[in-house]
Chains A and B, each alone.
Chain A
Amino acid sequence: MIEAFQLIKKQLSTSSDLKKELVRIQDIELEILYLVSVCDEKKIKADLIFPILECSGKEEFKDYLTSLPDISKPEKDQDILQKLMIGHACIQMENELFLFNAKKVLNNQLGDASSETAIYGSQRSFSDVIDTNLNLIRYRYPSPNLVYEKSKVSGVPQTEVGIIYDSLLVDKGVLSELQTQLASVKPEVILSAAHLQRLLTTRKYSLFPILMITERPDRVVLNLKQGKVVLLVEGSPFVLIAPATFYDFISSMDDAFEQLWISISLVVLRYISIFITVLLPGIYISMVSFNPELFQAQLAFSIAGSRANIPYPSYIEVLIMMFLIDTLIEASIRLPKSISAAATTVGGLILGQAAQQANMVSNIMIIVTSAIGIANFVVPINSMSFALRIVKYPFILLASLFGYVGLIAGLFCLIVYLNDLKSFGKPYLKVFIGEHEKLGKL
């Protein structure tokens, strides 16, 4: 152990934030080693150095030291270095080593729930620190069955990952599968919860998220009550929930608080929006290029009239507009807030009047484009909304080749694909009437 201490000293000697303190008061001799950047120096002074003055001798100080709740003895040499990195101080006293937890936490402020807002739900999101997040969850879910397991992904450096579940309600199969998958994750370092989500996705080419990602404590508590497993990642204000079903991504937290008919109508509205955002470009192409007789004659005439000056086929028109609206969305997300307003104004002008007046696209196409954009924003969880943005392109291709036949075939394939997906052994597209196995019976 002592050799390990010397080795660590040597290894970290190049770091300027390493602090070595040799304390020699009366017959007590201490050597304290810590990183200033991650340790609270005030705590070290108050809890370790001042008490020495009040102690009469070596034995009394040692008793005091071992009675501190923040003190621990390292089990392995590897432990010492790991703990030093996350804010422990290493104390050497008479050939014995102690670790003192003096974590300095700077970023435990709760942010505003900004990427997933709700009217009546909690207005605060998680913070960057696991302990703070755990505190939020424990206060909201004061159950003795709530289990918090610390876990680490293999490989160095190890990011801390916490697993939380209700031991009575949890699905054991999901839990064990999640644990084995977590143990097999081998990244350099986990950057955020969303990064971990991607690493846990076993399908190589995947489009839909199979883990729920959220920043809302109330959603986490709701899912714990449903027997799901929650993953916390150190340094990320988002948490992961497994297993996820398609329906989870379509539900907002307000659905649980509103009156029954209001929430049912809102969910139906979202499903219709999904159909619009995925199918409308394809329907437009099929209608213009394949079967104008499908709809009422007046509608067909007005579309044909508005397209009279457009020099190219409908799918080119659709592709231009889809490209423009997707770049506009992408630009307004990535740009700094002060510029993004300008970008949307400029983009809106182009998409609105100018493109139509220049005979680039038809009037109807502008309505179609905005309908697709608005319908896409209705999906409450961003990862699903992004996935649905991609899905419409295969439909455009199919519609330009086979019209309505291609569109229906594509819809069939989408349903089969979603049904084939599994989130930790659970079916992804559980239809809402089949929430429990019992309901499968007539």
Chain B
Amino acid sequence: MNRYVFYVLWCDGITISGLLLYNLLLDERFSGSIMAIVISALSGMIFLVTITKSLGHFPKQGLPEILRMFLPAGARVSLLIFFSIMTITKGCIMIGYASSFFNLYLIDVKTITIIAFMFITVSWGATRSSKTILSTLELVLFICIPIMYYILTKAVFSQGIEWNSIKAMADYAFTWPKWETIAAANSVFSGFVGLIIFNRVVPSKIKWKFIPLLLIVNLHILVTGLLISIGIHGTYGVGNYIAPTYSALDSIGIMSGLFSRTIMPYFLIILFLLLIYAAVTIHVGLELLKGCFSMKFQTNPRKEQLLSWIICGLFTVITMIYFNTFTLKQIKYHTVNWFELRFYTEFLMVALIALFAVMKWKRRV
């Protein structure tokens, strides 16, 4: 197993829970978000194991190459375009969300200015080679993870946490969740989408003992964030905030060290993670899109770069317009629906690759 595979899955879980999922799951806290986490962990693991086993049959090949072997051109191109748009949108939504919150907490610049600036940075990262992105990912995690755990530990043991309100949540543990809550919670484990491209450079095998470890690290971050928010604001009070976790961290002071409040180092870390997360997802989306074109086009670095930058520019403009038109509350509703669509997309992706792996295996036998 290659350590980069683990990084891709790890980074996805941490970032998406830190930026989006806390809000979505806290909204549904009385209607089964705890159960949703458990179910989504199961489904996520099934997806992960299926896709890593299937990709093992296609060494050094990404999804575009696999589709090229089995599908006619029309089906291949439409599938790839659909997958790539879904993947790039994931990055765009995260950048948009984060920019809105950074606008509230960090700088007083217009949200669209921050979005544009972040997109320039991320696009530059995303248009590099896969190897560059993977080693950047390693370094970013190396810097961020220790501080992340320090902050969360500090927060969990802070005086302000009311453990009774957390215990009260046990009453809602066995409520059957709504379908979209499961779909949203499942996105913690959707890091495997990166593997369909990174399979070209690193073999996406994963040892069985790392699967529970992955489950633990991703769920730990997700559950800790939820606990802190509920513990600080109370079981009902949590519903009054637009970003409960950030408000909770904002109210916790780090008595030791340079920083005064927990939220500031947390934001710096989450910003750093967001940049690499968005670079990874947009890179994967761009590579999928490039798979639509002929091999001759793909070997021309000049045209390839131009195409990547055009796509990035297009998505920048769309994201800017979208986040300028709608309010955060509307965007939240859209995001929940988008998460459901994402779940089906990923299911289709996993099913297709598994099917092709079986076909290849049968051919050989």
**Chain A residues at the B interface, C-beta cutoff of 8 Å:** 290-291, 293-297, 299, 401-406, 408-409, 411-413, 415-416, 419-420, 427, 429, 431, 434, 440-442
Contacts and interface: CB of A to CB of B under 8 A. Distances in A.
Nearest to B5: A442
A412 B210 contact: no
Given A290-B107, A409-B275, A416 B3 contact: no
Interface stretch (B58-66, B126-134, B217-225, B345-353): B126-134
B2 interface: yes
B83 interface: no
B259 A295 contact: yes
Contacts of B3: 440-442
Contacts of A420: 128-129, 132
15 contacts: A299-B258, A402-B107, A402-B117, A405-B102, A405-B106, A405-B117, A408-B275, A411-B272, A412-B276, A413-B124, A415-B136, A416-B128, A416-B132, A440-B3, A441-B2
Contacts of A412: 121, 125, 136, 140, 272, 275-276
Interface in B262-293: 264, 267-268, 271-272, 275-276, 279
A412 B128 CA distance: 13
A358 B264 CA distance: 34
A296 B264 contact: no
Contacts of A427: 131, 135
B272 A408 contact: yes
B128 A291 contact: no
| Size band of the interface chain B makes with A | 35 or more
B240 to A, nearest CB: 23
A416 B2 contact: no
A416 B207 CA distance: 29
Contacts of A429: 135, 139
B142 to A, nearest CB: 7
B259 A441 contact: no
Given A295-B258, A408-B271, A415 B4 contact: no
B39 to A, nearest CB: 28
B261 interface: yes
B6 A442 contact: yes
B162 interface: no
A276 to B, nearest CB: 13
A442 B2 contact: yes
Contact of A431 (B106, B107, B135, B275): B135
5 closest pairs, A vs B, by CB? A409-B121, A419-B132, A412-B275, A294-B264, A416-B125
Contacts of A293: 260-261, 264
Contacts of B117: 401-402, 405-406, 409
A296 B107 CA distance: 18
B306 interface: no
B106 A291 contact: yes
A345 to B, nearest CB: 34
A203 to B, nearest CB: 14
A229 B275 CA distance: 37
B140 A294 contact: no
Nearest to A298: B260
A442 B1 contact: yes
Nearest to B105: A291
Given A290-B107, A405-B102, A415 B260 contact: no
Contacts, number: 101
Contact of B260 (A297, A405, A440): A297
B142 A431 contact: yes
Contact of B109 (A296, A402, A408, A440): A402
A18 B267 CA distance: 75
B118 interface: yes
A353 to B, nearest CB: 27
Given A404-B106, A411-B272, A416-B125, A431 B139 contact: yes
A136 B202 CA distance: 43
Contact of A405 (B129, B132, B258, B271): B271
Nearest to B99: A405
A157 to B, nearest CB: 37
Contacts of A440: 2-4, 202
A425 B142 CA distance: 25
B27 to A, nearest CB: 27
Contacts of B259: 294-296
Nearest to B3: A442
B230 interface: no
Contacts of B264: 291, 293-294
Nearest to A411: B272
Interface string B111-153: 0001001100100110011011101101110100000000000
Contacts of B125: 412-413, 416
Contacts of A405: 102, 106-107, 114, 117-118, 271
Given A420-B132, A442-B207, A415 B6 contact: no
Contacts of B102: 405
B275 A295 contact: no
Contact of B136 (A297, A402, A408, A419): A419
A402 B114 contact: yes
Contacts of B138: 431, 434
A264 to B, nearest CB: 16
A290 B108 CA distance: 8
Nearest to B6: A442
A306 B251 CA distance: 28
A125 B341 CA distance: 66
Contacts of A434: 135, 138
A290 B124 contact: no
A403 B139 contact: no
B262 to A, nearest CB: 11
A295 B77 CA distance: 52
B307 to A, nearest CB: 19
B124 A416 contact: yes
Contacts of A411: 272
Contacts of B202: 440
Interface string B1-18: 111101000000000000
A267 to B, nearest CB: 15
B268 A408 contact: yes
A413 B275 CA distance: 10
